[in-house]
Amino acid sequence: MSHSKIRKDKRCQNCGYFVATRFCPECGQENVETRRHFHYLFVHFWADFIHYDGLFWKTVISLFFPAKLTKEYLAGKRKSQVNPVQLYIFISFVVFFIPAILPDFSDHPPKTGHKQAQEENIVNPKNSLSIFGLKNLRNIADLDSIQRTLPEEEKLSIYKYAISRTLLGFKQEKKAIKESLKHNFPKAVFLYMPVFAFWLWLFHSKKKWLYFDHGVYTLHYFSLILFITLLHIIVDWLLSFFHTKIHGLITLAIPVYLIYYFFHSHRLMYRETKTVSRLMCTALFIINTLFAPVFLVLYVIVVTLFSAW
């Protein structure tokens, strides 16, 4: 928009500061005529979007080069990349938006008639339990239904019935917990980032590195994890159309790559010898592997308790 007409009034419309040239030296707003034709809204939108889009992809490509973005950002090269916080928020939004819009073709077409009635009575053994001779129990309702229909001599004793209810109740709670973990995982990951940065701060020189530096490194690393997760979701969706074993290889390759990336980027970021860097990375990897799941479970428990209140 560099060809836009400059206002005759030299007072900035945003902050009231005197503007000698095109841009306000106080707030940076361009001192141009603000009343435009209607098409300007669309032109301005696409100009901003293309600018951000180009900068975003440039940033993402650099993200795959270990520690490159972090070192450049800390060196002051910040106009050439998306802000770390904005990058993480945008990628996380896309990661949780894409699966919601991808069509699911895994379900078979609905069946009708006698065949459908037969298939509705088939219970997947993986989703059911067999307890005290009673088979294909999916939940407590199934147990109660069978218990009512059995002859008196074949009904479960009070102790067996109590044990069966407990096991099925645990199965149902386990499923609810898994759903809660899946739902709260993104929030827990976001809250865990300061903890991840804290471990980095704890292991490195306090005079040489600020907590801010570790925070930038953490944001970039977690942004990479999210973006690779996005790629995995898309590839997994595409592979769902084919019968292939590539999915398993990709699932295995992702954590291997992320571990390698962490070790390599850590050494480039903190400029330590290979031996010292590997020892630190191993310690950090073990600590986070042990601590992160505990953090996630505690977060889910706290959220569940507050929601119950």
* Entry field: residues in the chain: 309
The answer to whether the CB of 186 falls within 8 A of the CB of 207 is: no
pLDDT at 96: 80
pLDDT at 55: 82
How many helices (H) and strands (E) the chain has is answered by: 9, 2
Rounded Cα distance, 88 and 219, in Å: 7
pLDDT in tens, 57-110: 889 999 999 999 999 999 988 888 889 998 898 888 888 888 778 776 554 444
Question: Could you tell me which residues are beta bridge partners of residue 11?
Answer: 18
For tokens 């899946």, the residue is 182
The answer to whether the CB of 142 falls within 8 A of the CB of 136 is: yes
Q: Cα dist. 143→121, 129, 168, 171, 259 in Å?
A: 16, 10, 9, 13, 46
pLDDT at 79: 82
pLDDT at 110: 45
Q: Please state the rounded mean pLDDT for residues 294-302.
A: 78
The dihedral formed by the CA atoms of 88, 94, 96 and 101, expressed in degrees to the nearest 10: 180
Q: Which residues have a Cβ under 8 Å from the Cβ of 44 and sit 6 or more positions away?
A: 1
Other CB atoms within a 10 A radius of the CB of residue 46 amount to 11
Lowest mean pLDDT among 79-93, 97-111, 144-158, 227-241: 97-111
| DSSP category for residue 20 | S
- Decide which of 191 and 251 is more confident: 191
Report residue 210's pLDDT band, with 50, 70 and 90 as the boundaries.
Answer: very high
Nearest to 177 by CA among 300, 306, 298: 300
pLDDT at 116: 44
Average pLDDT value for the chain:
77
Report residue 170's pLDDT band, with 50, 70 and 90 as the boundaries.
Answer: low
pLDDT at 2: 46
The domain ranges of the chain are: 1-50, 175-309
- Decide which of 49 and 180 is more confident: 180
Report residue 8's pLDDT band, with 50, 70 and 90 as the boundaries.
Answer: confident
Q: Which amino acid belongs to residue 100?
A: A
Rounded Cα distance, 22 and 239, in Å: 53
Report residue 27's pLDDT band, with 50, 70 and 90 as the boundaries.
Answer: confident
The answer to whether the CB of 72 falls within 8 A of the CB of 81 is: yes
Q: How open is the CA angle 145-149-155, to the nearest 5 degrees?
A: 95
Query: Per-residue pLDDT for 220 more than 60?
Result: yes
The answer to whether the CB of 175 falls within 8 A of the CB of 168 is: no
Query: Per-residue pLDDT for 253 more than 70?
Result: yes
Q: Work out the percent of the chain whose per-residue pLDDT is above 70.
A: 69
Query: Per-residue pLDDT for 1 more than 50?
Result: no
Burial of 282 per CB tally in 10 Å (0-12, 13-18, 19+)? exposed
Query: Per-residue pLDDT for 40 more than 60?
Result: no
Other CB atoms within a 10 A radius of the CB of residue 168 amount to 21
Q: Cα dist. 105→15, 165, 215 in Å?
A: 55, 36, 40
Rounded Cα distance, 221 and 235, in Å: 21
Query: Per-residue pLDDT for 263 more than 70?
Result: yes
- Decide which of 299 and 195 is more confident: 195
